[in-house]
Structure 1
Amino acid sequence: MNPRLSFSALALLAACAQAPQRPTAPPRAVDLSAVAPQPRPNGLATDWHQGAFMEIFVRAYQDSDGDGVGDLRGLISRLDYLKELGVTGLWLMPVTASADHDHGYATTDFRAIERDYGTLEDFDELLRQAHARGIGVIIDYVVNHSSHEHPLFQAARADPQSPQRDWFVWSEEAPQGWDIWGKNPWYWAAAKPWAWQGELKDLPKPPPDAKGHYFGTFGPHMPDFNLKRAEVFNWHLSNLRFWLNRGLDGFRLDAVPHLVENNAKDWNDQPESRRLTKRLFDAISAYPGRYTVCEATAEPQAYSRPEVCGSAFAFGLERAILQAVQGKTEAVGEIGRFFQTRPHRMATMLANHDIFAGARIWDQLQGDEARYKLAAASYLLQPGIPFIYYGEEIGLAGVTQLPGDGPIRGPMSWDGSANAGFTRATAPFRPTAPNAATQNAAAQRADPNSLFHHYRGLLALRQQQRALRSGSYEGVQVEGSVLSYLRRSGGETLLVALNYSAQPQSLNRPERDARAVRVWPEAAPSLPAGVLPAWGAQVWLLDSGE
């Protein structure tokens, strides 16, 4: 049997109910072949993923060919910058072929590179060049759904008798009582709901006799796979191996609590979703030195356990940090308590590509660099695997006039030239940041007191002090606006103290005696010993183990 099966890209069904039409358009090939695992070391340091990651939206990072869109070759040209900053891992938002030609989560081919970004050969070269610099690469993988334009869904939609019909979730009648984020996730296929231009809540209801409804957690343009079917799930495992066999270093698994929905009440974080996530995690972990992180807004602590995904984003911590640096004293204790009860392999962040996680940090803090630097220190010194959102390290502002997630997905600012050095095209795919003239990589690298050098110094400290990368978290103490704690690894003990106040504050820790050696910041403070500067952080080495 030929493993590459062909399915038709069919003419869309009429907007009224009618008998399904047979394929007439030329077929499009979908690679359904089983991919055998070929585990081999990636050549990186065993703890490469415990350094720090940079989350990169390739479309917005660097354009190499002048079309106004970032691409893989552009990213390759910026690897030395990332190495200089000190990151040891890259998380790329979806780079697979997509229908949206933007964020990339509406996948049309799980084994191909988005054409705007380049080719598989470009991707292979990115892996080679990143590995040569000691940097690992993980990519977003969307298990839950495809684009409505995916050939498999086109075949399933066109013919109820198609063998691909059961690859997606269907109901002849329109299920009632569902409400996922204010919408019914069941869509009448014949009405072409993906073409609706208004709010989904205003989507016209189908007639009572309408037949053929499909399920889409994230909207009509992204139909959910039927992951209860072994053939479908095993195909996803083969897709993961396709990339791992090329040398990829791991995955960020998207929206895993939504893999299985059982009914209108039991649709979020079902036991089946956790079991499937564990199988994905195990398949990736069969390759030496690989790393998996899950997006699980529901119960991220549970998904961080090795029984599920091994690591998941620490949603909630970023909110507490931003509240604390804006003067909300009660949030200081929340920061201190967070990792007392949560796995240390959780992935931490200040912001990411989703607006629900917050606007650009520059905008949230109105450009206040002292508070900005304290926010960075807050998560880079705590346990967890930090993920820096591209541009965060230079104070990239959002393009606030754009709708939806657009404001936080603008082009990276590289210098003060036209289009901020992002592209030589007349105009980039999206406007550049309003503060690009001052908050750009070239200007930041030239200023030793900049955000860039603050991030670079903290990442270097993490690399120098194993206790910060993988040590214990103990002795947590909160006194008003001051948070302090110990990080230990082997014989090495560090004392970390942070002042979330506009006034200098005394640190009451007997461990910080005359033998303590300050290792951060490098510049000597102007205040007496034991006094923390306003919006400041300090780290002391108490015992080097020598």
Structure 2
Amino acid sequence: MPPADTSLIPWWKDAVVYQIYPRSFQDSDGDGVGDLRGILRRLDYLKRLGVDVLWLSPIFASPNDDNGYDISNYRAIMPEFGTMADFEELLREAHARGLKIMLDLVVNHTSDEHPWFIESRSSPQSDKRDYYVWRKGVDGQPPNHWQSFFSGSVWEKDAASGEYYLHLFSRKQPDLNWENPTVRREVYDMMRFWLDKGVDGWRMDTINMLSKPQDFPEGRPIPGTRLTEGQPLFLNGPRIHEFIQEMHREVLAHYDVMTVGETPGVSPAEGALYCGAGRGELNMVFHFEHVFLGDDTAERGKWSNPPLALPDIKRVLARWQTGLHGRGWNSLYWDNHDQPRAVSRFGNDREFRVESAKMLCTVLLFMQGTPYIYQGQELGMTNVSFESLDHYKDIETRNAYKVLREEHGWDDARILAAVYARGRDNARTPMHWSSAPHAGFTEGTPWIALNPNYPDINAEAAEADPHSVWHHYRAVIALRKALPVVRDGTFTLLDAEHPTVFAYVREDAHTRLLVLGHFHGGSQTCRVPAAFVDGEVLSNNHPVLEGAGTEELRLLPYQAVVLRAPTRTGVSRPE
């Protein structure tokens, strides 16, 4: 049960977060790259939408090998994005509007152009050698055969010393050595630097990879899975909770901030260790079970793009809803900067783009947890199909092309089809602000090509249309904030095996809600629990609700409905 005094409820439990990918959000100076002053220009738009927290993907100095996730100076702003004065103005203006700012904490690795690494690789005797993970090879080979997330070995040989440094991602992203207490102190001091400026929280990149087994065992290959050899060994490593508890004790406990950890490979039980009440770690975690569904058994992981089955999605999300209820706190998301567009992956981005985008909004935002909306999701922005790989900028995509072609014999058509479906650049094309040239994103040449459908899908048109996806998001955000049951109530999944309807009940001592989401382009009759037959329709993404007031509703293509039960009599399960 929630505290009787609502002032004791952490503010982030009522918040809705909006993720901004700065490079693609809004350009203010015509260089084709989004920037901080562009974000400043759009604060009123975000306030009108009703969100509370703006999560900025990395804004720090970087050579951009991995679009800012390779940081060369943690205390400087990327020059393309602006200056520290620009950031401080953005922070002030956001706070003046009641909006909070959350930054990306990327401390599993740095750029190889960070002064720490430059000094570290200068000599085995350097006092910063131990800031990173260096190992000698074995008989002229790397220390083990782990494979990086971006293809190839996790070990890069340094010609000068003959030793190898560890990089779980790009070779230009050497891993920090969290076993070194001096490294941890450096990170904590950097975190205080930003929190003392007034930053309101951290999204923590790959936070469950900080601790690695120091003997770097070979591990066991898992054929046919998306897990590259060794990954199970460096996820949730031997000292990970010790490190995060120390971070909390030294830094986070002294500020009123929100924290969310990116934790691939965790179960609800493991997630509760990271965000459980009283553990002194994080507020919540991002799990990946629903966005990785099927990838672990596919021929080439996500690039094979295995089909999704709604019962599988329901089971995953329900397991997290019930598994963390009363034990921790959920984060809720369909997509982000690393995932394809939600309406293209989970909905129908062709005949029923508007309906399915609204349905996905409803199904997600009525669950328990803090919702994360990725820029353009509120417009129903879609995946993009560039004609050539030359248009794609993402390092993961470009590396995958080489591997899929050279090692697995895929032709260009097959590779491009996979990229259209699952490539990270789907989410990184510029934000659609209007039907003006370059979608109002820039007066120059965009750093990456636009999705050509921007004349039809853009913020200016969406705000002017009361039936748009944007207005549905705005209404649902307001509704969830007005209903404490969404924050505090239990979650009960109904008819787990139904192939097209996602139905669940949210309930507390005062309110019961029935949420129905139809994941199909046809019509579907749906049995309504008796307690909701005469229920009030709180939300509906179609102009009609066929069968309202009866025991059977006829759900239209991608229809989403929320009913509030009129009484407190028992809740019946559907037949």
Question: TM-score scaled by structure 1?
Answer: 0.81
**Mapping of residues 183-262 of structure 1, within 5 Å:** 183-190=152-159, 211-262=162-213
The equivalent residue for 2:286 is 313
Deviation of residue 325 (structure 1)? Answer: 11
Q: 2:244 aligns with which of 270, 273, 277?
A: 277
Kept after mapping to 1: 8 A contact 2:91/2:199: yes
**Mapping of residues 66-85 of structure 1, within 5 Å:** 66-85=30-49
- Measured at CA, do residues 320 and 134 of structure 1 come closer, stay the same or move farther in structure 2, by a change above 3 Å? farther
- Is 1:267 aligned to 2:231, yes or no? no
The equivalent residue for 2:470 is 452
- Is 1:382 aligned to 2:367, yes or no? yes
- Is 1:366 aligned to 2:366, yes or no? no
- Mapped to 2, the partners of 1:66 and 1:512 lie a distance apart of 54
Paired residue type of 1:462: R
**Pairwise CA RMSD of aligned residues?**
2.9
The equivalent residue for 1:491 is 510
- Is 1:541 aligned to 2:564, yes or no? yes
Kept after mapping to 2: 8 A contact 1:173/1:212: yes
Paired residue type of 2:563: W
* Residues 275-302 of structure 1, C-alpha deviations (whole Å, 9 max, x = no match): 2123334445324431000111121532
The equivalent residue for 2:98 is 134
- Mapped to 2, the partners of 1:380 and 1:325 lie a distance apart of 24
The equivalent residue for 1:428 is 446
- Mapped to 2, the partners of 1:513 and 1:406 lie a distance apart of 44
The equivalent residue for 1:351 is 335
Kept after mapping to 2: 8 A contact 1:71/1:117: yes
Kept after mapping to 1: 8 A contact 2:102/2:200: yes
Deviation of residue 128 (structure 1)? Answer: 1.5
The equivalent residue for 1:172 is 136
The equivalent residue for 2:18 is 54
- Is 1:152 aligned to 2:174, yes or no? no
- Mapped to 2, the partners of 1:164 and 1:422 lie a distance apart of 42
User: 3-state SS of the aligned residue for 1:317?
Assistant: coil
- Mapped to 2, the partners of 1:331 and 1:360 lie a distance apart of 13
- Mapped to 1, the partners of 2:476 and 2:156 lie a distance apart of 49
Paired residue type of 2:189: S
The worse-fitting range, judged by mean Cα deviation, of 71-80 and 398-407 is 398-407
Kept after mapping to 1: 8 A contact 2:492/2:506: yes
- Is 1:91 aligned to 2:55, yes or no? yes
Q: 2:264 aligns with which of 297, 315, 320?
A: 297
Paired residue type of 1:339: Q
Question: TM-score scaled by structure 2?
Answer: 0.77
Kept after mapping to 1: 8 A contact 2:435/2:455: yes
- Mapped to 2, the partners of 1:325 and 1:261 lie a distance apart of 33
Kept after mapping to 2: 8 A contact 1:317/1:348: no
The worse-fitting range, judged by mean Cα deviation, of 388-397 and 276-285 is 276-285
Paired residue type of 1:88: D
Kept after mapping to 1: 8 A contact 2:91/2:101: yes
Paired residue type of 2:370: I
In structure 2, the gaps of 5 or more residues are 1-6, 220-232, 295-304, 398-423, 569-575
Paired residue type of 1:106: D
Paired residue type of 1:486: V
- Measured at CA, do residues 327 and 274 of structure 1 come closer, stay the same or move farther in structure 2, by a change above 3 Å? closer
Kept after mapping to 2: 8 A contact 1:51/1:459: no
In structure 1, the gaps of 5 or more residues are 1-42, 192-209
- Is 1:472 aligned to 2:436, yes or no? no
**Mapping of residues 320-331 of structure 1, within 5 Å:** 328=310, 331=313
The equivalent residue for 1:412 is 431
* Residues 230-281 of structure 1, C-alpha deviations (whole Å, 9 max, x = no match): 1111110111111111100110111112212211333332121232123334
The worse-fitting range, judged by mean Cα deviation, of 48-57 and 438-447 is 48-57
Kept after mapping to 2: 8 A contact 1:497/1:537: yes
- Mapped to 2, the partners of 1:326 and 1:177 lie a distance apart of 35
- Mapped to 2, the partners of 1:171 and 1:104 lie a distance apart of 27
- Measured at CA, do residues 470 and 94 of structure 1 come closer, stay the same or move farther in structure 2, by a change above 3 Å? farther
User: 3-state SS of the aligned residue for 2:144?
Assistant: coil
The equivalent residue for 1:527 is 546
User: 3-state SS of the aligned residue for 1:456?
Assistant: helix
**Mapping of residues 31-46 of structure 1, within 5 Å:** 46=10
- Mapped to 2, the partners of 1:512 and 1:213 lie a distance apart of 63
Deviation of residue 61 (structure 1)? Answer: 0.5
Paired residue type of 1:240: M
| Equivalent residue pairs, number | 481
* Residues 63-116 of structure 1, C-alpha deviations (whole Å, 9 max, x = no match): 111221111111011011111111111111001111217621110111111111
- Measured at CA, do residues 447 and 544 of structure 1 come closer, stay the same or move farther in structure 2, by a change above 3 Å? farther
User: 3-state SS of the aligned residue for 2:95?
Assistant: helix
- Measured at CA, do residues 310 and 476 of structure 1 come closer, stay the same or move farther in structure 2, by a change above 3 Å? farther
The equivalent residue for 2:408 is none
User: 3-state SS of the aligned residue for 1:173?
Assistant: coil
- Measured at CA, do residues 58 and 235 of structure 1 come closer, stay the same or move farther in structure 2, by a change above 3 Å? same
Kept after mapping to 2: 8 A contact 1:284/1:292: no
- Measured at CA, do residues 186 and 318 of structure 1 come closer, stay the same or move farther in structure 2, by a change above 3 Å? closer
- Measured at CA, do residues 541 and 284 of structure 1 come closer, stay the same or move farther in structure 2, by a change above 3 Å? farther
- Measured at CA, do residues 375 and 270 of structure 1 come closer, stay the same or move farther in structure 2, by a change above 3 Å? same
User: 3-state SS of the aligned residue for 1:271?
Assistant: coil
